[in-house]
């Protein structure tokens, strides 16, 4: 019952199926049963309350009940990075073993978690080894492509549904479950489906790092990267999406999945040199522009910096691998004083202290600030009354890490505006 599990459960409830949400975290289960989400995701709270009422969804921390009562099981547990970069499969294995132990009839196990190539076979093996009696089952790879912040929309309107399976019965069952969703279904071998997921995330990360690296050149030569990507994106072979330069991609997936794919490549003695560079560019993008901005400001030392938007992207409270975290750490090392704002996300406790404070209102955050660094482009910032906000600031620098504010209007208001690759 994380981001993927809750969204998947509620979407199937919305499509009319009877769903049980299972999680080992009893507090999460209690809160979901009371209609409260344990994370912020637009639209899910409404569906949760609707389907608790319609009785299409309920929640439990009892794997025996959940597994026995259902013939189809979606596996949505986390696959975080292990210390060596590989995907840690301990949660996947744990659920597989629970399924094996508690199986009472035929089960279709659909793996939605992002898992390394050939995990499907391992899940089958883990279930088989845990079985106490020989019930038949299928394991299917059914990777998830939703984005946080638009999880519900993405799940109801996916570009494609990938089903990796060698079993016609299993494929037909999944097609039936998804029948009300208008999207092409691509049936592949399990390993191919697993690879499609990694290859897709890695490709999106590649697009971002490509423009981010170009943005450094644009910054030097006085060309606006946003104008460049606009022109590039008009070519339908390139497309306009995922070409927005910024302080780098964050989140629970691009960094983790790139590492996992690089690990798989290494295990197979193949070098994915492009993906290595994608990661490298991403890891240095924020610090590259922090250096540029530091020069413009004349140093961060003892300056008051307002950090706007700490989540890894707007419309989520997820801080996993958020670029803002490394930026705040860097600024603190430079002896800056930080005033932080986010509409939803809360500053992690390890960053709280004498020189960092989070405020509820934008006005309080900007009170006395010398500069603003925009890390995540919440609409609250784009639509803010900047003329009024300017009056509470000490100095007037805006460093737009997402190229989303209107630089021209801000300059007209008397701000010194700098974006990414956009002087
Ligand atoms: N977050 C996202 O936007 C997307 C994530 N994915 C993939 O989906 C998977 C899940 O990601 P998130 O939802 O973000 O993870 P998450 O960390 O939010 O949730 C994972 C949940 O699994 C629960 N769990 C752990 N062991 C369990 C067990 N034995 N039985 C039942 N529940 C157990 C945890 O308590 C937690 O609530 C990952 O592999 C991720 O790469 C794929 C597409 C989008
Ligand atoms: O596997 C996953 O977990 C998911 O990872 C991403 O989704 P998500 O990480 O939720 O969010 P994105 O919208 O992809 O943004 C990721 C990061 O890239 C950044 N980004 C995105 C687009 C862009 O043009 N430029 C850019 O810097 C965002 O600010 C954010 O930090 C993918 O978009 C989903 O398809 C996938 O299912």
- Taking only the tens of pLDDT, the chain with its 423 residues reads 999 999 999 999 999 999 999 999 999 999 999 999 999 999 999 999 999 999 999 999 999 999 999 999 999 999 999 999 999 999 999 999 999 999 999 999 999 999 999 999 999 999 999 999 999 999 999 999 999 999 999 999 999 999 999 999 999 999 999 999 999 999 999 999 999 999 999 999 999 999 999 999 999 999 999 999 999 999 999 999 999 999 999 999 999 999 999 999 999 999 999 999 999 999 999 999 999 999 999 999 999 999 999 999 999 999 999 999 999 999 999 999 999 999 999 999 999 999 999 999 999 999 999 999 999 999 999 999 999 999 999 999 999 999 999 999 999 999 999 999 987
User: 46 C-alpha vs ligand 1 centroid, how far in Å?
Assistant: 21
Q: Are residues 145 and 227 in the same domain?
A: no
Mutate to test the pocket of ligand 2, among 249, 315, 422 (most ligand atoms within 8 A of CB): 249
Structural domain range at position 142: 3-188
Query: Is 244 assigned a ligand-binding role in the annotation?
Result: yes
Whether residue 210 has its Cβ less than 6 Å from ligand 2: no
Residues 198-202: contacts with CB within 8 Å, 24+ apart?
Answer: 198/114, 198/116, 198/117, 198/257, 198/260, 198/261, 198/264, 199/261, 200/145, 201/114, 201/253, 201/254, 201/257, 201/258, 202/257, 202/258, 202/261, 202/272, 202/275, 202/278
Question: CA torsion sign, 351 to 260 to 194 to 236?
Answer: positive
CA-to-CA distance for 39 and 5, rounded, in angstroms? 12
Q: Are residues 346 and 265 in the same domain?
A: yes
Q: Are residues 252 and 170 in the same domain?
A: no
Q: Are residues 217 and 255 in the same domain?
A: yes
Neighbours of 132 (CB within 10 A): 9
Q: Are residues 280 and 152 in the same domain?
A: no
CA-to-CA distance for 275 and 83, rounded, in angstroms? 19
Q: Are residues 204 and 117 in the same domain?
A: no
Query: Is 313 assigned a ligand-binding role in the annotation?
Result: yes
Final residue of a structural domain among 164, 188, 212: 188
Whether residue 250 has its Cβ less than 6 Å from ligand 2: yes
What is the pLDDT at residue 59? Answer: 98
Q: Are residues 44 and 165 in the same domain?
A: yes
Which ligand is nearest to the Cα of residue 211, counting in written order?
2
CA-to-CA distance for 405 and 276, rounded, in angstroms? 31
Domain count, the chain: 2
| Cα radius of gyration rounded to whole Å, the chain | 23
Query: Is 93 assigned a ligand-binding role in the annotation?
Result: no
Kindly report the CATH number assigned to the domain that includes residue 263.
3.40.50.720
| Concatenated DSSP letters of 89-130 | -HHHHHHHHHHHHH--S-EEEEE-S---TTHHHHHHHHHHHH
Final residue of a structural domain among 150, 173, 188: 188
Q: Are residues 117 and 254 in the same domain?
A: no
CA-to-CA distance for 48 and 68, rounded, in angstroms? 23
CA 169 to chain centroid, in Å, comes to: 32
Q: Are residues 238 and 124 in the same domain?
A: no
What is the pLDDT at residue 248? Answer: 98
Final residue of a structural domain among 132, 162, 188: 188
**Cα-based angle 402, 407, 411 (whole degrees, multiple of 5):** 145
Distance between terminal CA atoms of the chain? 44
Q: Provide the ipTM.
A: 0.99
Catalytic site includes residue 375: no
Whether residue 28 has its Cβ less than 6 Å from ligand 2: no
Taking each helix axis as running N to C, give the angle between helix 190-221 and helix 273-297, from 0 to 180 degrees, rounded to the nearest 10. 30
Q: Is residue 383 helix, strand or coil?
A: coil
User: 131 C-alpha vs ligand 1 centroid, how far in Å?
Assistant: 24
- Hey, whose CA ends up nearest to atom 44 of ligand 1? 146
Q: Are residues 45 and 108 in the same domain?
A: yes
Q: Are residues 239 and 170 in the same domain?
A: no
What is the pLDDT at residue 422? Answer: 84
CB 75 within 8 A of CB 112: yes
Q: Are residues 265 and 310 in the same domain?
A: yes
């Amino acid at each position: 019952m994380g981001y993927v599990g809750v969204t998947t459960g509620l979407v199937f409830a919305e499509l009319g199926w009877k769903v049980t949400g299972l999680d080992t975290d009893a507090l999460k289960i209690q809160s979901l049963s009371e209609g409260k989400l344990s994370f912020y995701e637009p639209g899910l709270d409404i569906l949760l309350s609707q389907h608790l009422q319609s009785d299409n969804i309920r929640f439990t921390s009892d794997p025996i009940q959940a597994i026995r009562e259902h013939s189809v099981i979606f596996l949505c547990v986390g696959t975080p990075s292990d210390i060596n970069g590989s995907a840690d499969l301990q949660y996947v294995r744990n659920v597989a073993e629970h399924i094996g132990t508690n199986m009472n009839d035929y089960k279709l196990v659909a793996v939605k978690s992002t898992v390394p190539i050939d995990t499907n076979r391992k899940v089958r093996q883990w279930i088989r080894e845990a079985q106490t009696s020989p019930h038949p089952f299928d394991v299917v790879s059914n990777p998830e492509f939703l984005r946080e912040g638009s999880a519900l929309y993405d799940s109801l309107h996916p570009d494609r549904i990938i089903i990796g399976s060698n079993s016609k019965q299993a494929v037909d069952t999944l097609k039936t479950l998804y029948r009300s969703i208008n999207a092409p279904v691509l049936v592949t071998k399990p390993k191919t489906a697993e690879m499609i997921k990694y290859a897709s995330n890695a490709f999106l990360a590649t697009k971002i790092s490509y423009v981010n690296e170009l943005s450094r050149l644009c910054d030097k030569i006085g060309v606006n990267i946003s104008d460049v990507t606009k022109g590039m994106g008009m070519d339908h072979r390139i497309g306009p999406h995922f070409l927005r330069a910024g302080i780098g991609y964050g989140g629970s997936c691009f960094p983790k999945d790139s590492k996992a794919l690089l690990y798989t490549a290494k295990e197979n003695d193949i070098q994915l040199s492009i993906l290595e560079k994608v990661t490298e560019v991403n890891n240095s993008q924020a610090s590259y522009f922090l250096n540029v901005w530091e020069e413009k400001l004349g140093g961060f030392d003892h300056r008051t910096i307002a950090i706007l938007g700490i989540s890894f992207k707007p419309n989520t409270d997820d801080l996993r691998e958020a670029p803002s975290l490394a930026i705040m750490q860097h600024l603190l090392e430079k002896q800056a004083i930080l005033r932080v704002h986010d509409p939803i996300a809360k500053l992690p406790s390890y960053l709280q202290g004498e020189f960092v404070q989070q405020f509820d209102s934008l006005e309080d955050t900007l009170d006395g600030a010398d500069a603003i660094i925009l890390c995540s482009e919440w609409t609250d910032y784009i639509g803010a009354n900047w003329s009024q906000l300017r009056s509470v600031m000490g100095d007037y620098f805006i460093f737009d890490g997402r190229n989303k504010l209107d630089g021209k209007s801000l300059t007209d208001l008397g701000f010194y505006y700098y974006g990414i690759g956009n002087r």
